[in-house]
Amino acid sequence: MIIGIDGSRAFLEKRTGIEEYSFQVTKHLHNKLDDYEVRLYLRKSQKVNFDIPSRWKIKKINWPFLWTQIGLSLEMLFHPVDVLFVPAHVVPLINPQNTIVVVHGLEFEFIPKAYSFWARMYMRWSIKSSCRWAKKIIAVSENTKKDLIKLYKVPEEKIDVIYEGCNKNFEFLISNFESISNDKIFNSKYILFVGRLEERKNIIGILEAYKILKEKYKIAHRLILAGSPGYKYEFIKLKIKNLKLEINELGYVDDALKYKLLSNADVFLFPTFYEGFGLPILEAQVAGAPVVASNNSSILEVAGESAILINPKKPEEIAEAVWKILSDNNLREELIRKGLENVQRFSWEKCTKNIAKLLRS
């Protein structure tokens, strides 16, 4: 049996949610499919940065645009495989009968204003089509499964829920830590958000909550926003300018800096409007940061009682939750303990063991 894996999202230089999922799943599958012939499809410029089994072959597809729908489709036409695994929800037009796709969420259906018109149209078409073409669909949460059934009328028996994993041991270079060890950020107290700076992530709500924390609760903490600019970032930038408060934007951060930021944060904020899974919550808990997150979507599954859950549309509620943690050390320690217990439910090993079972069936 020949198994094909779409690795085009896994080996980007700057990975965020779906890309990180694709990378970790591909990396952890290598010791579960070593008895099979596997073709790992990459773009021309991409490289695999871990050892792969001898029966795995890297196939680079040199196609400049519509890489999946044209490049990967042509590959499937001329060099078909028995099973195609797509970890990032876009199945090529030409696909084998046994195709397995991962759907990460339908956030764009619930918060349409946080996406451009064309982005919404493309995601709706690509995910609907992928669900129709695939033999099996992996949803990363029960909430995403429910959304697929309700909005896209996907048959329930076609969907398997397999939770994402999280790294219990961050891999990073000592030199990375040395280069940032004396940065003024780590010599002061701060609350933290990690993720793309865009409307869906409720950055405006975070900024308004921070203003309340400064004015009402008189906190000394700074706010750190770590992540690349996203859709409608210009409104976020204007809000930051108008607030005239001590806010640090760090842009994209690698794993080393992210882990250090999380492990030194007094509170990790994740009051987003909708999530297919919510991996940053688990990353924060692994690092020992208490979490304030939204009481919606998959976050209820992922965080449960291990975080303070709030209404993301109410900045005063976000601020109050942060203040409770900052002013009550017992609560802070309890949330850290619950967070460390919570992350034990999730692992890339468990995730890929279940995926491999589907690929072999």
The CATH number that applies at residue 130 is: 3.40.50.2000
* Four-CA torsion 281, 119, 8, 358, nearest 10 degrees: 70
Residue 31's CB is within 10 A of a number of other CB atoms, namely 12
For 62-94, b where at least 16 C-beta lie within 10 A, e where not — what string? ebeeebbbbbbbebbeeeebebbbbbbbbbbeb
One domain, residues 260 and 144: no
Other beta carbons less than 10 A from residue 158's beta carbon: 15
Q: Tell me: do 105 and 244 sit in the same domain.
A: no
- The pLDDT assigned to 55 comes to 92
| 56 and 78 in a common domain | yes
310 and 198, same structural domain? Answer: yes
Cβ–Cβ < 8 Å for 222, 184: no
Instruction: Give the count of domains, the chain.
Output: 2
Same domain, 222 and 121: no
The residue range of the domain holding 196 is: 174-345
Statement to judge: residues 282 and 195 lie in one domain: yes
Q: Are residues 182 and 326 in the same domain?
A: yes
Q: Do 13 and 128 belong together in one domain?
A: yes
* Predicted structure pTM score: 0.91
- Give the model's pLDDT for residue 184: 65
Residue 178: predicted pLDDT: 47
Phi, psi of 58 (to 5 degrees): -90, 125
Pairing of strands 56-61, 2-6: unpaired
Same domain, 139 and 211: no
One domain, residues 58 and 82: yes
Tokens found for residue 13: 């230089």
* pLDDT at residue number 186: 72
Same domain, 110 and 71: yes
Question: Do 284 and 217 sit in the same domain of this protein?
Answer: yes
Q: Which residues are CB-contacts of 101 (< 8 A; sequence separation ≥ 6)?
A: 86, 89, 90, 91, 130, 131, 133, 134, 136, 137, 138
pLDDT at 14: 80
Average pLDDT per consecutive 10 residues, the chain (361 residues; last block may be shorter): 95 86 94 91 92 92 92 96 96 96 96 93 96 97 97 97 86 46 72 95 97 96 94 93 90 90 96 95 96 96 96 97 97 97 96 96 85
